[in-house]
Amino acid sequence: MSIRVGILGYGNLGRGVESAIAQNPDMELAAVFTRRGPESVTVRTAGVKVLHADELEHMQDDIDVLILCGGSATDLPVQTPHYASLYNVVDSFDTHAKIPEHFAATDETARKGGKVAVISCGWDPGMFSLNRLYANCVLPEGRDYTFWGRGVSQGHSDAVRRIEGVKDCRQYTIPVQSAVESVRKGENPELTTRQKHTRECFVVAEEGADLARIEQEIKTMPNYFADYDTTVHFITEEEMKQNHSGLPHGGCVIRTGVSGLNREHGHVIEYSLKLDSNPEFTASVIAAYARAAVRMNQEGQTGCKTVFDIAPAYLSPKSGEELRAHLL
Amino acid sequence: MSIRVGILGYGNLGRGVESAIAQNPDMELAAVFTRRGPESVTVRTAGVKVLHADELEHMQDDIDVLILCGGSATDLPVQTPHYASLYNVVDSFDTHAKIPEHFAATDETARKGGKVAVISCGWDPGMFSLNRLYANCVLPEGRDYTFWGRGVSQGHSDAVRRIEGVKDCRQYTIPVQSAVESVRKGENPELTTRQKHTRECFVVAEEGADLARIEQEIKTMPNYFADYDTTVHFITEEEMKQNHSGLPHGGCVIRTGVSGLNREHGHVIEYSLKLDSNPEFTASVIAAYARAAVRMNQEGQTGCKTVFDIAPAYLSPKSGEELRAHLL
């Protein structure tokens, strides 16, 4: 019997989960849930119902795992602990500083409800975290580097959109190639924020807006841009639509370290991603962990888990024998 | 209390495990075991005993995990099932075709003995396998590529040494850069054996040997060289010692795949290693999995495991809280 998946929230991530389910023959999309009026949402998969989130209070017999596609700021801190008492759940909570409290709250309700909750799932946190952990365990003496991009940062794009006179913005985070190359060579550079990434903004301004002031406000914005070398391009709405409608992203996690009784041998471990669609790739990771959540719960496990706590074999629809024969 | 590690076999891998243990403060080297006369072996770590392998029959109170550093051809198929009945063990068995029977034999004895045995641990099989599995689960529709090198292949070096007139050889496996680049770009090339790797041999010939014949024998050797473009360099013993005494290796695992309802978005996942010392890096992976074996056994788990069956958190000496706070 296939794994029946529910999706709560039908934005970019929810739609990504929908298409990821279509690529996994052992999964089916049971229903999409929304806190808006269900009639306002049109799901692309034929025959799938859209229901109000309230219906989730009594649908435990119809759903094996619920994927929470809300935001980390206000949605998930409430939704994940709540729904973990009713369903196996997976979320992509990414507010690093608040992971401990999110874990604790979710662990308590998931245990009480006898469910498995996987939090902070995606690529960072997620696949990048996994690779940081593996590399740290294998090379206990070494240094970690993470580079992001080239890719669209939604948070930085939003920050620019809040500036007066800005109609739209797409912000790209770009790793400094010479820094990446130095790390790859094992030179162990000390890198400031500015030396690791640059930022590039494509801005559609309102008619008659003061472009010089907008550029200045972007480049001096604390936290978001002040510590970076930033380039600003003003473009038309037409250009924005044509050249910047995608959500590509990626990056790499590199650990350099040493071995040998005299630390005489150097090693470089690198994991890198080049993604045409950030939300769809995140959703693809989530789909694999949704399978893991269901299987671990079927074995009697409960509580909150992260990618660190889940043996890789749980992610695969294949048996242990098949995996050992073909992928080991 | 620290994890007491025994090493059986003190070749390149055994010495690598010794130095890996020195980098992990929660581990200590309890003893080195050998099937030769113990007096013929000198261990570099001060105060560590060298004992005959026979002593292993009654040292269960002194050793938490035994690392089997023998070869896959004849040592491990016998040693791993045998010692898994007495100790938690880790091996680096890498004869792909025989993994199913090695797993079955070891699983039976480890279960009977109440121990955990981790087999086929290192980087390939090992970290490369893990990355193949994760990438396959995340991108179910896609293609896998593995490239090895630039690095020394012990098997190929040995094959050349068996040719008449050859005193010594070091063989490097080299990935074809244009092929790697094509894969990275997501072009999904179909690649023959010859298009993926080239081979380079540095050969010390005996005085008066027929160099043309040796070169011809190398280049036409079935399985090892016939399907590759091979370059042969004749060098002096001096040059061999000076320029080819290391055992560097590495390579990369790449999966390219698609997402989206119309498979409209492409993604590239790459894991790559650049290693100054193949045996020391393999040993570093083994040390981390030795910790996992002990911890899983302390929790009551038994039987044969591979990297697929072990949750990443078991590899780390850090607590779940620390890992979530610093690496997630």
Q: Judged by CB atoms within 8 Å, which residues 207-266 of A form the interface with B?
A: 259-261, 264-266
The residue to which tokens 């298409």 are assigned: A19
CB–CB of B259 and A280 under 8 A? yes
Note the maximum CA span of chain B: 68
* Residue in chain B lying closest to A273 (CA): B269
Cα-only R_g, chain A = 22
Measured in angstroms, the CA of B253 and the nearest CA of chain A are apart by: 10
Q: Do strands B265-275 and B249-259 pair parallel, antiparallel, or not at all (unpaired)?
A: antiparallel
CA distance A251 to A170: 18
- Asked if residue A136 lies in contact with residue B315, where contact means CB atoms within 8 angstroms, the answer is no
A7 vs B: CB within 8 A: no
Measured in angstroms, the CA of B282 and the nearest CA of chain A are apart by: 9
Helix (H, G, I), strand (E, B) or coil at B283: helix
Q: Judged by CB atoms within 8 Å, which residues 114-153 of A form the interface with B?
A: 120, 125, 127, 129-134, 136-141
CB–CB of A22 and B261 under 8 A? yes
CB pairs under 8 A between A and B: 212
CA distance A12 to B237: 63
Kindly list the residues from chain B whose CB atom is less than 8 angstroms away from the CB atom of residue A273: 267-270
A268 vs B: CB within 8 A: yes
Contacts of A4 (CB under 8 A, 6+ apart): A27, A28, A30, A62, A63, A64, A65
Q: Is 90 exceeded by the pLDDT of residue B53?
A: yes
* Residue in chain B lying closest to A129 (CA): B328
CA dihedral A100, A102, A108, A109 (to 10 degrees): -170
* Residue in chain B lying closest to A255 (CA): B273
| Residue range B124-141, pLDDT digits in tens | 999 999 999 999 999 999
* Mean local confidence (pLDDT), B24-45: 95
Q: Which two tokens stand for residue A269?
A: 């471990």
B278 vs A: CB within 8 A: no
CA distance B29 to B96: 30
| Residue range A12-44, pLDDT digits in tens | 999 999 999 999 999 999 999 999 999 999 999
- Asked if residue B193 lies in contact with residue B225, where contact means CB atoms within 8 angstroms, the answer is no
Mean pLDDT of chain B: 97
Measured in angstroms, the CA of B237 and the nearest CA of chain A are apart by: 24
* Residue in chain A lying closest to B286 (CA): A138
Contacts of A111 (CB under 8 A, 6+ apart): A302, A303
B13 vs A: CB within 8 A: no
B271 vs A: CB within 8 A: yes
Segments of chain A scoring below 50 in pLDDT: none
CB–CB of A320 and B327 under 8 A? no
- Asked if residue A210 lies in contact with residue A186, where contact means CB atoms within 8 angstroms, the answer is no
CB–CB of A316 and B133 under 8 A? yes
Contacts of B294 (CB under 8 A, 6+ apart): B3, B64, B65, B88, B116
Give strand pairing partners of B126: B123
Using the 8-state DSSP alphabet, how is residue A117 labeled? E
Using 50, 70 and 90 to split pLDDT, how confident is the model at B279?
Answer: very high
Q: Is 90 exceeded by the pLDDT of residue B243?
A: yes
B301 vs A: CB within 8 A: no
* Cα separation values, A23 from A7, B136, B143, B260, B288, Å: 16, 12, 14, 9, 34
Q: Is 90 exceeded by the pLDDT of residue B254?
A: yes
Buried b (16+ CB within 10 A) or exposed e, A43-72: beeeebebbeeeebeebeeebbbbbbbbbb
Measured in angstroms, the CA of A300 and the nearest CA of chain B are apart by: 15
CB–CB of B310 and A311 under 8 A? yes
Q: DSSP states of B28-50 as a string?
A: EEEEEEESS-GGG---SSTT-EE
Contacts of B116 (CB under 8 A, 6+ apart): B88, B110, B293, B294, B296, B297, B301, B302, B303, B305
CB–CB of A312 and B96 under 8 A? no
CA distance A267 to B16: 14
- Asked if residue B10 lies in contact with residue B43, where contact means CB atoms within 8 angstroms, the answer is yes
| Residue range B184-216, pLDDT digits in tens | 999 999 999 999 999 999 999 999 999 999 999
Kindly list the residues from chain A whose CB atom is less than 8 angstroms away from the CB atom of residue B19: 259-261
A185 vs B: CB within 8 A: no
CA distance B147 to B251: 5
CA distance A9 to A91: 11
Q: What is the pLDDT of residue A1?
A: 81
* Residue in chain B lying closest to A313 (CA): B308
A280 vs B: CB within 8 A: yes
Q: What is the pLDDT of residue B1?
A: 81
The distance of Cα B241 from the centroid of its chain, to the nearest Å, equals: 24
**How big is the CA angle at B305 (ends B299 and B306), to the nearest 5 degrees?**
130
Measured in angstroms, the CA of A285 and the nearest CA of chain B are apart by: 5
CB–CB of A19 and B99 under 8 A? no
- Name the residue among B281, B313, B323 with its Cβ closest to that of A267: B281
- Name the residue among B16, B125, B323 with its Cβ closest to that of A308: B323
| Residue range B307-321, pLDDT digits in tens | 999 999 999 999 999
Q: What is the pLDDT of residue A312?
A: 98
